[in-house]
Amino acid sequence: MTPRTAVDTAAGVRSGSLRAADVLEEHLARVASREAEIHAFNLVTQDAARARAADIDRRVAAGEDLGPLAGVTIALKDNLCTRGVPTTCSSRILEGWKPPYDASVVERLAAAGAVFVGKTNLDEFAMGSSTENSAFGPTRNPLDTSRVPGGSSGGSAAAVAADFATVAIGSDTGGSIRQPAALCGVVGVKPTYGAVSRYGLIAFASSLDQIGPFTHTVEDAALLMEVISGHDARDSTSIPQPAMQLRQELGKGVEGLRIGRITDLPAGADPGIMARLDAAFAALEAQGASIVDVQVPAFTYGLTAYYLVAPAEASSNLARYDGVRFGMRVEAPDTNAMYSATRAAGFGDEVKRRIMIGTYALSAGYFDAYYGKALKIRRLIANDFAAAYAKADVLLTPTSPTVAFELGSKGDNPLAMYLCDTYTIPTNLVGHPAMSVPFGTAELGLPAGVQIMAPTLGEPVMFRVAAALEEAAK
């Protein structure tokens, strides 16, 4: 059965032909039947969701227009602050903490009529590519529960793929929306840096983090982007522009667009993944686009630059978790011992690894050799992308180099795990938008995603290409 889309759900609830309560119960029934094996959620807020759905139905019956997401069920990644609801980042150090405010994105979704189903599992503090680094246990891929859903937003991707919620929200620091979207066979969008407010997103790496949607369709992703984008004075990095209008772009086709093929793309993707990418180029060319070869020489250095920049920012951002102001505290004889004991008990291995790497890279003796050099590489990548976008309107790459891999298969090899983000990281470093669209299957019949990348605020043309790929995939 094809899941009901957000567009159709909201239209039905607003017209009175669907009840928000019935929509919610359909999703909660699926949660009840499969959540134990998948573990998409850290918390299912069913009582609050039922009260919210009932209120929406009452207000619709009274003649109110509840907005473009009326009655649409949404799962929220557990690093988005929600007032009075435990928000843990899947870390022991924040276990039980209840924020006193809502993230801006949560406010905007609520104002549009959404119903929040729960908080989804993630790699601890969004550090990982498999959702195996959660303090509360791994999430499994609904399409094959012996495999990972990707990460760090694996719980959000799994919630949509299993139809536990119509749509979900995740965050993307180096591919954490797009890679799990590809592995779970759904649409995932990382917007332009600053296009969506980060206020209330618990920070991992502040110059890289972005919030975006997981959906079953490109049209639903466009709708979600219209709701959550736009300027927010509470986020100093927010771009001063109104919310995007993207659904109007979807039917324009790709005739005349220039689709860039990166000829010096880093190797390493499975043959089946590359075959799907070639098929995507062919499908777009058949619809009237022209395929142009471009080079992005510094693309290959994205991974190494990222794993200095992101840990450096993480070591700074995570310094606040010291057992004093919020979250867990391990009692000790003096303050310094309490800091040490709390952080040792509260953080998992991957978080500790990245804090140590970042602290080392920022230390006085090594700053120029590591962090400073990584920033120079970041600038080179931006320059190379600018040259490529002078020749092409969008660029296409694989989203992930492989299909969903088996649970535990990369856990003992951090480098192998980091390589999962080879194709997604460069756009985070330069702040450009990118999205993953399902485009058939590769090895073992598992989903393959094609990544569409565009220049800053190039979401309109990016969504045009996404809609064309989605139509071709049918």
Question: Active-site positions?
Answer: 77, 152, 176
Q: What are the φ/ψ torsions at residue 147 (nearest 5 degrees)?
A: -120, 160
Q: How far apart are CA 151 and CA 411, in angstroms?
A: 13
Query: CA nearest 302: which of 378, 193, 385?
Result: 378
List C-alpha distances in Å: 215 to 156, 185, 219, 239, 450: 10, 10, 9, 24, 15
Q: What is the dihedral of CA 30, 150, 386, 376, to 10 degrees?
A: 140
Q: Amino acid identity of 264? A: D
Q: Which residue, chain included where needed, has tokens 């709708």?
A: 223
Please check whether residue 321 is in contact with residue 343, taking contact to mean a CB–CB distance below 8 angstroms.
yes
Q: How far apart are CA 65 and CA 398, in angstroms?
A: 41
Crossing angle, helix 459-473 and helix 271-286, to 10 degrees? Answer: 100
SS3 track for 269-285: CCHHHHHHHHHHHHHHH
Radius of gyration of the chain (CA): 21
